[in-house]
Amino acid sequence: MIALALAPPLLLALAARSLQDRPIGRPFVTRSEVVAHHAMVATSQPLATQAALEVLRQGGSAVDAAICANAVLGVVEPVGCGIGGDLFALVWDAKEKKLHGLNASGRSPLGLTLPQLRALAGAKIPSYGVLPITVPGCVDGWYELHARFGRKPMPELLAAAIGYAGDGFPASELIAKAWQDNAKLLADQPGFAAQFLPAPKHGERVVRANLARTLAAIAAGGRELFYRGAIAQRIVADVAAHGGWLQEADFATHRSEWVAPIATSYRGYDVWELPPNGQGLCALQMLNVLERFDLAQLEWGSADHLHLLIEAKKLVFEDRARFYGDPAFAAVPVAQLLSKEYAATRAAAIDLAHAAVAVAPGSLTPLSRDTITLATADSDGNMVALIQSNYRGMGSGVAPADLGFVLHDRGELFDLTPGRPNSYAPGKRPFHTIIPAFVTKAGEALLAFGVMGGDFQPQGHVELLVNWIDFRMGLQEACDAPRIAHEGSTDPTGVPADPSGGFVIVERGFSEAVVRELERRGHRFVTKGGLFGGFQGIRRDPASGALFGASDSRKDGQAAGF
């Protein structure tokens, strides 16, 4: 382990004062963890939490509750998710004591080649419109999860979402603000204004009758209606009318994939993520690098603590840009990137006194923004971490006529340069930012969680786990503590790194003295609104079976149990 000098005491004056006015004497806790024995749900919107909790009260499984919550979120939080997007999940089966992974991400149009896309897009795939649309994987993901782990009929699981869409719901504060922001960007996209404008104000009742009809049709007709029936036909016709390339064959051939989760050990805990085409591997690589340093001896929020987080992120994100892609098209060296030996070589590149400016990917032996996350747990010990997204808030902005949802724009994240792991190809899954996570210890389930937030997600996972494991914070405190984000690394789309080494954004709550010390080491700070994600998580005590839920104060959400 790399030796570190002990940092001088750097507790903030604000934190010191808050020790006096918080009953439990912890500086960052906005509210207590929710504790229950039988079941727990944590989501970013209370209506979704309550609907999923009712499913659990009626004997549904953790997967049933997750599907219900996701469906309701697609109604009440369309600024982050919906049936026009993709889905990933980790499911702990308590009977088997085994973790299962589902990749329910869609693929690019089979009829669109890289030369054709380059001719249409130019230097970069656009963020909005029909070109970045890939097949939506969410609905197939629901039915895959349900077929394997569901107990209640799908119509029951979608009933709450159908009810809120048809009868209406009050727009919560952050969702209303995000809806208004998206409206400014997407008003001209096909079908958007007719179905999503005007954007609601906080507390205003919203009725989404067209989405209620679509969800009711899916409840009656199943996944086949979405991928081989009338809904697929409607989407294809609408996209084609505006110059898009999706065809009925793209929907008919779509399938989710059950995958083996990947893991690393971190100070005695096993941390699990899904393999590429997502970026969960990033979080595991960062933990491997940070394990080389004794973070627990440092002051939380000290210059050394934050410097190590930033520098580990820089190193790992260069590997992300160089090696990650759809494993059906590229040989992603997961085992090598996850090895402790490789992490040791990467950790040795960190200069404790200076910020790195030019960072290169590691040397390997050649081989032959805008999301929801939720967690559920049932009385049998099953747990789910699920994450689902439109990408860029309300996705492409393209809303097929009268269906009530937008299509995602995940295809924006392909690289247009040939020959790279994430280079565009027909029928290929793009690089994905959304990642669920799980922690076990000695073969027992401990924590199901996610931190939504685009590229920030691996940083968010690592900051949460370091707070919880190294600094021994409770789950709610670990997610409420101020966060730091580095931006400017090389991007999987081929956009090069910021030549000045990128920049750092911090939430309020860090010492000015620490920021000045980091600037002295070469870090560049900018003042702007940052994307610091939104945590939802459930911890299980293996000894008592008690469930502890936490929901990020940065969101409108709620953890609740019984």
List the catalytic residues. 371
Cβ contacts of residue 417 below 8 Å, gap of 6+? 423, 494
Integer Cα distance of 121 and 493 in angstroms: 13
Q: What are the structure tokens assigned to 331, written together?
A: 């040989």
Integer Cα distance of 251 and 253 in angstroms: 6
- Using only C-alpha atoms, the chain has a radius of gyration, in whole angstroms, of 22
Residue 113 near residue 435 (C-beta atoms within 8 A): no
How far, rounded to the nearest angstrom, does the alpha carbon of residue 305 sit from its chain's CA centroid?
24
Tell me how crowded residue 21 is: count the other CB atoms within 10 A of its CB. Answer: 7
DSSP secondary structure letters along 274-301 = PPTTSSHHHHHHHHHHHTTB-GGGSPTT
Dihedral, CA of residue 202, residue 391, residue 489 and residue 327, to nearest 10: 150
Sign of CA dihedral 459, 461, 465, 468: positive
The SS3 assignment for 304 reads helix
Residue 25: exposure state from Cβ atoms within 10 A (0-12, 13-18, ≥19): exposed
Residue 62 near residue 91 (C-beta atoms within 8 A): yes
Which residue do the tokens 């970026």 mark? Answer: 279
Q: What are the structure tokens assigned to 158, written together?
A: 């979608």
The SS3 assignment for 17 reads helix
The SS3 assignment for 145 reads helix
Phi, psi of 284 (to 5 degrees): -65, -40
Cβ contacts of residue 57 below 8 Å, gap of 6+? 39, 562
Residue 88 near residue 432 (C-beta atoms within 8 A): yes
